[in-house]
A and B are shown apart, each in its own frame.
Chain A
């Protein structure tokens, strides 16, 4: 059923992609046939970046859809922040346009489908109303729909504590936005609904094929010349589970049914938490951005509540401040996240199940603790707008990770029960043409 659904979506998206990328090849013919408002637009953008950290047993990620490949070998990474995007659009008239956007970036899921961020038809029957159908950008947080465009923000990457564990870039479905202008204030109300899918790496060689047919969101944004305020709520229910959890779930089910006082009830509790399938995720977010031409600041506060602790949850926030000095913008950034899930501990009581009891309990506890996030980062950096198309940035990050809070890192197993501090130096060149 799932495969059939995704195939039908691909059947819908493919003509859109073909239309936007292939029609321009017809050049003058296509343009001649378009009415006076017909316009092809192209946009290319990207980031070339390198980062170096001082940790020998941790590997950093930009988001949890990545799988660092050379843990313990090199602390340099060219691929983490580097990416290139290509956008093509065609405006039929004042009421309709189509747009496609592909982004080549480092991610565990290398299927062609995953590199296509957008492919949609946009209809706006009135100047205030936009309705999009197809693959549209996931738009809840302040930077949700332009995370890949480093040129648009001062820092090297969106704060990992906030954006690193929400790697959903697009949904297959549609959205409707209504814009209300009132003197110098612009309100935008938006709702989205659809389905999404993504493969996450789990450990050395396993993965979780996340799919959800029920993802929707609403957001309200208020914008003036200097302020941008956005609040959002998103709701998602995955319909798949991770295969690597199946043996643990079977073991817990057996222990739950064994009727051992204390142990069986604890096992039932763990079984309820150790799943991705049918878990409800609720995201709530409020963000502020300020830019008066000289000073710029941005802050967001968010919370994610889930009905099972295996699915990452927590409260996250960041605040960034910068000042334009001509073409240079020095900036600072503070960000942090605390998991809502408690740190699980093993106990001696499971020994009554024989040798396999403590082994099962340890494996389950490690699995649940592995998705916890508990860290904060302080950053300093400088952006230089070299010209109208290129910005060069350098940024230093110092991250403190608390024990059992390594969900945003690839790490040695022995590391996760200790605290750690990692310093990272990054340099990027962001461009847009």
Chain B
């Protein structure tokens, strides 16, 4: 094997390694669990997918114990939001967006407050005893919140 061929092989190996690392990273990101969280003072300790879905579709305004819920969502285009709705009720993001657009513009219900990243969601849930949010499992290293539902892929 001459030097030129060896260089090509080495470059190819580096390229393939980076490629598979990227694929692996993307796969991990896709398959990471999504966890639904509430404030630690909230007496609710677990919720069903249907209960969480109803809150995030504006069909319910309360936790299972009847107390008011402050729903915190991610930005409209956030990949985590798409993943959350796909796992919680199977709705594609463009259906979710048109659904909420109709509710918001018709004035039926105030849309959820939105945050730009996992950290801001966790912070908002920490500070509000009535809040509910969802984040990636890997971001859940903060105290002050309680996981009430875990969504696997």
Q: Judge whether A152 is part of the interface by a CB distance below 8 angstroms.
A: yes
**Which of A37-45, A195-203, A209-217, A401-409 is the contact stretch?**
A37-45
> Contact between B68 and A94 (Cβ–Cβ < 8 Å)?
yes
Distance (whole angstroms) from the CB of B96 to the closest CB of chain A:
9
Asked, given contacts A36-B128, A37-B70, A149-B102, whether A291 binds B76 with beta carbons under 8 Å apart, the answer is no
Cβ contacts under 8 Å, B97 to chain A: 151, 385, 388, 432
> Contact between B89 and A45 (Cβ–Cβ < 8 Å)?
no
Q: Which of A127, A186, A293 contacts B95 (CB 8 A)?
A: A293
> Contact between B94 and A385 (Cβ–Cβ < 8 Å)?
yes
Give the one of A148, A152, A186 with max B CB within 10 A.
Answer: A152
Q: Judge whether A137 is part of the interface by a CB distance below 8 angstroms.
A: yes
Q: Judge whether A375 is part of the interface by a CB distance below 8 angstroms.
A: no
Instruction: Give 1 or 0 for each of B53-66: 1 = CB within 8 Å of chain A CB.
Output: 11000011110000
CA distance A327 to B104 in the complex (A): 22
> Contact between A152 and B98 (Cβ–Cβ < 8 Å)?
yes
Asked, given contacts A151-B98, A181-B60, A223-B59, whether A137 binds B110 with beta carbons under 8 Å apart, the answer is no
Asked, given contacts A89-B110, A186-B59, whether A291 binds B102 with beta carbons under 8 Å apart, the answer is no
> Contact between B59 and A181 (Cβ–Cβ < 8 Å)?
yes
Cβ contacts under 8 Å, B89 to chain A: 225
Interface members, chain B 101-134 (any A CB < 8 Å): 101-102, 104-108, 110-111, 113, 127-128, 130
Q: Judge whether A85 is part of the interface by a CB distance below 8 angstroms.
A: yes
Asked, given contacts A87-B105, A152-B105, A324-B94, whether A97 binds B110 with beta carbons under 8 Å apart, the answer is yes
Cβ contacts under 8 Å, A186 to chain B: 59
Distance (whole angstroms) from the CB of A54 to the closest CB of chain B:
31
Asked, given contacts A39-B113, A184-B50, whether A387 binds B105 with beta carbons under 8 Å apart, the answer is no
> Contact between B102 and A146 (Cβ–Cβ < 8 Å)?
yes
Q: Which chain A residue lies CB-closest to B59?
A: A186
> Contact between B104 and A43 (Cβ–Cβ < 8 Å)?
yes
Cβ contacts under 8 Å, A432 to chain B: 97, 101, 105
Distance (whole angstroms) from the CB of B137 to the closest CB of chain A:
24
Cβ contacts under 8 Å, A87 to chain B: 104-105
CA distance A293 to B97 in the complex (A): 12
Give the one of B50, B91, B94, B127 with max A CB within 10 A.
Answer: B94
> Contact between A118 and B76 (Cβ–Cβ < 8 Å)?
no
> Contact between B105 and A146 (Cβ–Cβ < 8 Å)?
yes
Cβ contacts under 8 Å, B53 to chain A: 225
> Contact between A151 and B101 (Cβ–Cβ < 8 Å)?
yes
CA distance A120 to B91 in the complex (A): 32
Interface members, chain A 263-311 (any B CB < 8 Å): 291, 293
Q: Judge whether A99 is part of the interface by a CB distance below 8 angstroms.
A: yes
Q: Judge whether B92 is part of the interface by a CB distance below 8 angstroms.
A: yes
Q: Which residues of A contact B (CB under 8 A)?
A: 36-37, 39, 41, 43, 45, 85, 87, 89, 91, 94, 97, 99, 101, 118, 120, 122, 127, 132, 136-137, 139, 145-146, 148-149, 151-153, 181, 184, 186, 223, 225, 291, 293, 324, 327, 385, 387-389, 432
Q: 6 tightest A-B contacts by CB?
A: A388-B77, A145-B106, A127-B61, A152-B102, A388-B76, A385-B94
Q: Which residues of B contact A (CB under 8 A)?
A: 50, 53-54, 59-62, 68, 70, 76-77, 89-95, 97-98, 101-102, 104-108, 110-111, 113, 127-128, 130
30 A–B pairs (Cβ distance < 8 Å), ordered by A: A41-B110, A45-B101, A94-B68, A94-B130, A97-B110, A99-B107, A118-B107, A120-B107, A122-B107, A127-B62, A137-B107, A145-B105, A145-B107, A148-B105, A149-B101, A149-B102, A149-B105, A151-B97, A151-B101, A152-B102, A293-B91, A293-B95, A324-B94, A385-B94, A388-B93, A388-B97, A389-B77, A432-B97, A432-B101, A432-B105
